[in-house]
Structure 1
């Protein structure tokens, strides 16, 4: 990535909060509302100003690890998006498979990733610490470490109570929400927080603004972090947005587009898949033809992507451009179904770059297309893709340096991480590398130790940042 990739920490947090809301089956703006409510809860608790800020930041980022756990929740609940929405609203159907035992590894992944994100954003340590203990309970029966009472960072309780107030009120109405929260007092969060909150609940809910822009400390951070976090939802997609961005940027330069357009195109490519968070894993992982309802969900991906413009005004131009990644010259694309007359050179380059990169990348149901085959496939769709844009993309892709350097890992360790990180099983990796599954596990232990990680998604985030994937 280039210097054009940098955004403020505030913009990155706003984008991550929106993606987290979509992944958890919540409306955009949910985390912003909860952040304001968490500030009220903390203030009523007598928290100092910096602790109030911490509560707000924890609430904004509490779902930043949700893409990393989407595959696990998909296995347990089927639909990871609607299922988690029902879970938050305490509306999971009888007989669901979610238990303490199978939630524990997911909580560990979520908390490690969320904590690492806070560190990458340069946020205060108190925010990182709270995110690493996000699901702890006052009575010691929470996750991931079963901390008890004062051992739990106060911001965890402030954000949890605020989140329940927002979700349960929306799902059941305020009186029912307060009854549920009352039953959880002393168990999930300290009873005194609930006592302080109840008299003000209606006023707090009436005054929060889900379009508010909240202050976030920190300097500039890579926009690629947002893309990397999003792609944890589908391990086989790791690094896709980075590759599309590199190809689109260089194709724009070869096409003679102005520097400002090149910059916007690179950043839009990093965001073009943001709306995928709203679509269940089972849709993305289906190898055959999608059902009608599933096709409609996929067609809404660019709609959810462009909604980032509302949540992150500083990235509005990029979000609007990103939402054209799946438009086609003949009007067969989505979500607007635009035709050639409405598609600018930047739109056409982004569409070609996304399609070319997807064809050249492996998927669970197929191997990557060789360059000649990918070229032929795009050429056969001349009525859908712009010929000059395709030619520029192919030329740009040929000039890009090979990715996947070993960095702090050995070549073998880097290879193991690339394969495991993008979804291969231990057995498949062992077979491909002609080693035992025990040797693969040993390599993973070494990889995690070298990268300072405990879970695959956290290792993937660090590997992408280091250029190992």
Structure 2
């Protein structure tokens, strides 16, 4: 990888699939298995190679919008991860009318964000249309547009059937899965495709157990050497919590500059940059309530938090060219005195790069607002970080290099200019809504009226060609507007 910002398309897609599986409470090979099943169904239905590729890509990215509506599912279900797993496995109690109404805007956010991701990755019109309509149904009772047959893209049916088959056969057995699917013939899915699934499901599921899924998907046309920008993956990860907007980019940039100040070679600087972008992968596995809790977590919850970098480490096996970065990323919360997690390593067991990433991650957190506290000033955060070093948790020399980098002692290249032009006030409003503030909160922060905020938000949506705040946030970071 010559350009540290870019990674192979396949690695980016697989990273987003991994995050999606964690967000939905699914096994980390769920999307891979679904992609294989969807590709097989598309082929059996007479689809071309491009149809099979589209089915695979839509299946891998089907849950890529899940971080964007995690906060909404936290409010609706309490536990956004376990709750969505219960939805998929049909173990969630039936929604009342108010809850059903609450699902629609969450589906809209999901579909807009995942469609935008496909567009940013350059995956083509068929994949983008599939993701923007991924919850639509044959009979028009899907979401969010209720468009129905014949307007639903065929790839939506291929992926929906594959996903339901994979999840329900695993959760309840193949006979129950097929009975459930048959009950929605010409309702959720076309009857002809239901018949094909009923005929071939057992053979397809058996083949999954011996198939080298990663290698097979990587070999499909369209999953080749094209490179895409890795910061997009970090932005999608950060959408899980509104107050995390831009967090992964800040950690990545700070770690790289700190490494340069310490004299690390260019390859290691770039590795740290990429590791910073993906160090939050494992956060998707944990419910938002853990991160939003302002008080002391009970021991059971704290043990779950300590597994966050473990899940980041597990992501390494899904990548061909990002494996080293994912492993490095999993050291972001280790401490020199052994009090960190998940490994609890200490002293010389932690390399300079691992120590640098840990300090950079801590600094960005201290300088950022959280639901339970304001952002620390530079001076206050520096005192806290130096205190941690004095107590043996951070490397003192690396702390000083990081503080110098944060001061701007080394000038970074300016981001390229975006073709989208926002006014200074629109940029201020966008920055506030990207952090999860309501119109009233933005109005108080900027000392303007809520109606003025609403007008600015409408202008921002129009210029960014989006209709949800999550999509606006994702596009703003991708375009360098924030």
TM-score computed with the length of structure 1 as normaliser: 0.97
Counterpart position of 2:402: 393
Aligned to 2:228, the other structure's residue is in SS state: strand
Offset at residue 293 of structure 1 (A): 1.8
Q: Is the CA contact 1:123–1:217 (under 8 Å) kept in the aligned structure 2? A: no
Consecutive unaligned residues in structure 1, runs of 5 or more = none
Pick closer, same or farther for the CA change 1:323–1:159 going to 2, 3 Å: same
Counterpart position of 1:48: 48
Describe the superposition over 1:190-239 as per-residue Cα deviations: whole angstroms up to 9, x where unpaired: 11111111121111011124742313347211111000011111011010
Matched, 1:435 2:448: yes
Q: Is the CA contact 1:308–1:315 (under 8 Å) kept in the aligned structure 2? A: no
Counterpart position of 2:471: 458
Counterpart position of 1:365: 372
Counterpart position of 1:447: 460
Counterpart position of 1:349: 356
Counterpart position of 2:232: 225
Pick closer, same or farther for the CA change 1:81–1:97 going to 2, 3 Å: farther
Q: Is the CA contact 1:29–1:311 (under 8 Å) kept in the aligned structure 2? A: no
Counterpart position of 2:258: 251
TM-score computed with the length of structure 2 as normaliser: 0.94
CA distance in 2, matches of 1:449, 1:210: 44
Moved more, 159-168 or 190-199: 190-199
Counterpart position of 1:376: 383
Offset at residue 442 of structure 1 (A): 0.8
Query: Given the alignment, which residue of 313, 319, 329 partners 1:312?
Result: 319
Offset at residue 97 of structure 1 (A): 7.4
Matched, 1:260 2:263: no
Q: Is the CA contact 1:252–1:262 (under 8 Å) kept in the aligned structure 2? A: yes
Offset at residue 93 of structure 1 (A): 2.6
Q: CA RMSD in A?
A: 1.7
CA distance in 2, matches of 1:120, 1:14: 15
Counterpart position of 1:212: 214
CA distance in 1, matches of 2:193, 2:229: 37
Pick closer, same or farther for the CA change 1:323–1:211 going to 2, 3 Å: farther
Offset at residue 129 of structure 1 (A): 0.7
Counterpart position of 2:295: 288
Q: Is the CA contact 1:416–1:440 (under 8 Å) kept in the aligned structure 2? A: yes
CA distance in 2, matches of 1:228, 1:81: 19
Consecutive unaligned residues in structure 2, runs of 5 or more = none
Describe the superposition over 1:124-183 as per-residue Cα deviations: whole angstroms up to 9, x where unpaired: 110001111010000110011111112100000000000000000111011111111111
Offset at residue 98 of structure 1 (A): 7.2
Offset at residue 381 of structure 1 (A): 1.4
CA distance in 1, matches of 2:214, 2:355: 34
CA distance in 1, matches of 2:133, 2:332: 38
Counterpart position of 2:173: 173
Q: Is the CA contact 2:161–2:189 (under 8 Å) kept in the aligned structure 1? A: yes
Counterpart position of 1:203: 203
Offset at residue 454 of structure 1 (A): 0.8
Counterpart position of 2:192: 192
Pick closer, same or farther for the CA change 1:373–1:81 going to 2, 3 Å: same
Pick closer, same or farther for the CA change 1:40–1:99 going to 2, 3 Å: farther
CA distance in 1, matches of 2:105, 2:24: 18
CA distance in 2, matches of 1:402, 1:42: 46
Q: How many pairs align? A: 468
Aligned to 1:67, the other structure's residue is in SS state: coil
CA distance in 2, matches of 1:45, 1:402: 51
